């Protein structure tokens, strides 16, 4: 139950679940939606689930929740890494996964209109037929929803060049906490009428409104791409090479770093042999009319640091390399219980961050694996503990806290793309300060005075 809502004002979820269409109080349904992929396990289950199939279903559920003062937790595909869609006793989950239709694709305007439950990879497959792509590509592309991507402002590999979700969302249709429908943004590329409510909704983790439709900007598939896999003696060398790419004023579309232990985990899961080729790995892609020329310059920039370089001969080879990177987290999940960090640092301080993480691992005795969206300075230090251990208490939590302090000491942030959810609230005030949090709560109160939408998350 969220900290925004005083327990005494909470109403009874039974009244909501009795009246709502497509509601379930089955144990199996409740157990299936009580957490995400963060490793966080709530103490209890939510009281029930509403499986919305239409905007009307959402409006009805929200109005009922508002009338009865019952907290509602929007849920996309449940792949989040911040416990932002976790729900427990007293709360009702609003599941949006059945609203999964692509409503239109306009190849001339390069725009798609989708329901929130559409999976990221599903959209990308559909628009690829028109020679287009939707830029934000979380590694979870096959299993995460556009609505969840919007609510977390998800990033991904291609964001190095194309920006995060915010840069690809033109407009939204949102159900507010009182059931009113709000349209944000517009169908045009540019526009400045009024405040940027579109950006305000993006990344708000379901606390300001429920996204029921999104108008997305697509981009032409690049005419050419060039891909290289570079292996380094160690992760410090790989980080230095990544900084050299930025310093060389290049604009790779992908620049991903994977450390040695993670390579070994990938090898174990996929049967590959990356780890034998180096103690760390950098995957770089350039695209556009000058892809190969730009790659030549990139290779020159990183060559002094490398142990081995593999330039992909074709798209199949490139795709295999991207898949290896995408499988990093699932591979680690096979080794134990994971907690996935998401710190951001100024790009030039990547090497310091990597060294600092190794120190933390040594000090706390916790295993930390590191992958990074290197061009953005966004690292995913992944804590792996034994399956019976907790990642939200004890040494793992201590290590997480040290990570955030490391990021902040380097002028960085505690979350680059996964969000705050329940998991990172303890460190939020340190980063944002009192005034910022006060302003955020004031906005939240202005939009959701009863605090029924995903209380206790995000801010």
Ligand X SMILES: Cc1cc2nc3c(=O)[nH]c(=O)nc-3n(C[C@H](O)[C@H](O)[C@H](O)COP(=O)(O)OP(=O)(O)OC[C@H]3O[C@@H](n4cnc5c(N)ncnc54)[C@H](O)[C@@H]3O)c2cc1C
Least distance (Å) from its own copies to the CB of residue 251?
Answer: 7
Nearest by Cα to 239 from 384, 346, 365, 367: 346
Helices marked H in 228-374 — which ranges? 235-247, 260-270, 291-302, 315-326, 328-333, 350-364
With CB under 6 A as the contact rule, which of the stretches 205-213, 360-368, 391-399, 436-444 interacts with ligand X?
205-213
Q: Which of residues 22-51 bind ligand X (CB under 6 A)?
A: 36-37
Q: Could you tell me the two tokens for 443?
A: 């906005």
Among 11, 46, 90, 138, binds ligand X (CB under 6 A): 138
Taking 3-state DSSP, the helix, strand and coil percentages for the chain, each rounded to the nearest 5, stand at 40, 20, 40
- For its own copies, which is the closer residue by CB, 9 or 435? 435
- For ligand X, which is the closer residue by CB, 153 or 243? 153
The DSSP annotation for 397-459 comes to: HHHHHHHHHHHHHTT-BS-SSS--TTTTHHHHHHHHHHHHHHHHHHHHHHH-TT--BSTTS--
- For its own copies, which is the closer residue by CB, 116 or 344? 344
Dist CA 154 CA 15 (whole Å): 34
Q: Which does 77 bind (CB under 5 to 8 A by kind): ligand X, its own copies, none?
A: ligand X
Q: Which of residues 429-458 bind ligand X (CB under 6 A)?
A: 454, 457
Q: Which of residues 150-179 bind ligand X (CB under 6 A)?
A: 151-152, 154-156
Q: Which does 101 bind (CB under 5 to 8 A by kind): ligand X, its own copies, none?
A: none
Least distance (Å) from its own copies to the CB of residue 337?
Answer: 24
- For its own copies, which is the closer residue by CB, 81 or 329? 81
Whose tokens are 């142990």? That residue is 307
Residue closest to ligand X, measured at CB: 148
With CB under 6 A as the contact rule, which of the stretches 77-85, 124-132, 252-260, 381-389 interacts with ligand X?
77-85
- For its own copies, which is the closer residue by CB, 275 or 418? 418
Among 5, 65, 66, 96, binds ligand X (CB under 6 A): 96
Query: How many residues bind to ligand X according to rule CB under 6 A?
Result: 38
Q: Which does 211 bind (CB under 5 to 8 A by kind): ligand X, its own copies, none?
A: ligand X
Least distance (Å) from its own copies to the CB of residue 439?
Answer: 6
CB 344 within 8 A of CB 378: yes
- For ligand X, which is the closer residue by CB, 85 or 88? 85
Dist CA 174 CA 208 (whole Å): 9
**Burial class of residue 429 (count of CB atoms within 10 Å of its CB; 0-12, 13-18, 19+):** exposed
36 DSSP 8-state letter: -
Q: Could you tell me the two tokens for 370?
A: 């590191």
Least distance (Å) from ligand X to the CB of residue 315?
Answer: 21
Strand-pairing partners, residue 111, are 106, 217
Among 65, 132, 177, 211, binds ligand X (CB under 6 A): 211
């Amino acid at each position: 139950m969220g900290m925004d809502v005083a327990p005494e004002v909470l109403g009874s979820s039974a009244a909501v679940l009795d009246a709502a269409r497509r509601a379930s109080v089955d144990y199996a349904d409740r157990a299936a939606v009580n957490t995400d992929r963060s490793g966080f396990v709530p103490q209890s289950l939510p009281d029930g689930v509403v499986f919305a199939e239409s905007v009307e279903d959402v409006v009805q559920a929200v109005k009922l929740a508002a009338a009865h003062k019952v907290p509602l937790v929007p849920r996309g595909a449940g792949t989040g890494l911040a416990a932002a869609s976790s729900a427990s006793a007293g709360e009702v989950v609003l599941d949006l996964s059945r609203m999964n239709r692509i409503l239109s694709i306009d190849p001339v305007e390069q725009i798609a209109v989708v329901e929130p439950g559409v999976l990221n990879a599903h959209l990308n497959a559909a628009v690829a037929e028109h020679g287009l792509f939707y830029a934000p590509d979380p590694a979870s592309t096959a299993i995460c929803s556009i609505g969840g991507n919007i609510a977390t402002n998800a990033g991904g590999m291609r964001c190095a060049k194309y920006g995060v979700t915010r840069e690809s969302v033109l407009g939204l249709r949102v159900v507010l906490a009182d059931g009113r429908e709000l349209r944000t943004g517009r169908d045009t590329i540019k526009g400045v009428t009024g405040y940027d409510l579109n950006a305000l909704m993006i990344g708000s983790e379901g606390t300001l409104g429920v996204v029921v439709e999104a108008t997305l900007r697509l981009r032409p598939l690049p005419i050419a791409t060039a891909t290289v896999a570079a292996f380094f003696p160690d992760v410090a060398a790989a980080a230095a090479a990544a900084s050299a790419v930025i310093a060389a004023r290049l604009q790779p579309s992908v620049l991903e770093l994977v450390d040695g232990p993670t390579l070994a985990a990938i090898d174990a899961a996929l049967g590959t042999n990356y780890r034998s080729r180096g103690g760390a790995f950098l995957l770089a892609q350039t695209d556009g009319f000058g892809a190969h020329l730009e790659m030549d310059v990139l290779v020159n920039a990183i060559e002094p640091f490398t142990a081995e370089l593999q330039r992909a001969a074709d798209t199949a080879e490139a795709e295999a390399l991207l898949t290896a990177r995408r499988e990093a987290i699932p591979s680690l999940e096979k080794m134990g219980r994971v907690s996935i960090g998401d710190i951001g640092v100024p790009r030039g301080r990547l090497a310091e961050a990597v060294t600092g993480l190794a120190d933390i691992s040594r000090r706390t005795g916790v295993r930390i694996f590191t992958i990074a969206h290197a061009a953005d300075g966004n690292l995913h230090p992944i804590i792996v503990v034994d399956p019976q251990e907790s990642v939200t208490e004890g040494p793992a939590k201590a290590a997480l806290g040290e990570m955030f302090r490391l990021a902040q000491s380097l002028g960085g942030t505690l979350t680059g793309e996964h969000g705050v959810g329940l998991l990172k609230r303890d460190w939020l005030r340190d980063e944002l300060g009192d005034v910022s949090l006060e302003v955020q709560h004031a906005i939240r109160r202005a939009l959701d005075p009863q605090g029924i939408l995903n209380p206790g998350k995000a801010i």
